[in-house]
Every structure is written in C-alpha cells, then in structure tokens.
C-alpha cells in the first residue's frame, strides 16, 4: 500500500488539538452523552466552519 501526502501535517499543532477535541466530543454525542463543556464544543465547530 502506498500513502499519498495530502499536505502539511497537523500533529502537534493547535489545529490538531482542536480537531481532536471536536472528534472526541462528536463521539460522546454519538453515544448519547454531552460534551464536558458544550459551549467550547460549539465554539470549536463554529471556528472550523468559518
């Protein structure tokens, strides 16, 4: 299998940290729970969409 480089990596960056939080909160929501800080979740998603 060969991997294609799609751009700069996000590992260790602020963007990676924010995306990881969004992904975790999405998983919590999928399981029927609520994020620890719902306002921060909405802020992160809005920042991602803008």
pTM for the structure as a whole = 0.69
Neighbour count for residue 25 (Cβ, 10 Å): 21
Q: How far apart are CA 30 and CA 26, in angstroms?
A: 6
Q: How far apart are CA 17 and CA 12, in angstroms?
A: 7
Per residue in 4-42, pLDDT (tens digit) is 555 566 556 668 888 889 999 999 999 999 999 999 999
Per-residue pLDDT, 50: 85
| Confidence grade of residue 43 (pLDDT, cut at 50, 70, 90) | very high
Per-residue pLDDT, 12: 60
């Amino acid at each position: 299998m060969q991997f294609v480089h799609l751009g700069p990596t996000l590992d260790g960056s602020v963007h990676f940290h924010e995306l990881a939080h969004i992904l975790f909160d999405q998983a919590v929501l999928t399981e029927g729970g609520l994020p620890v800080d719902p306002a921060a979740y909405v802020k992160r998603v809005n920042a991602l969409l803008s």
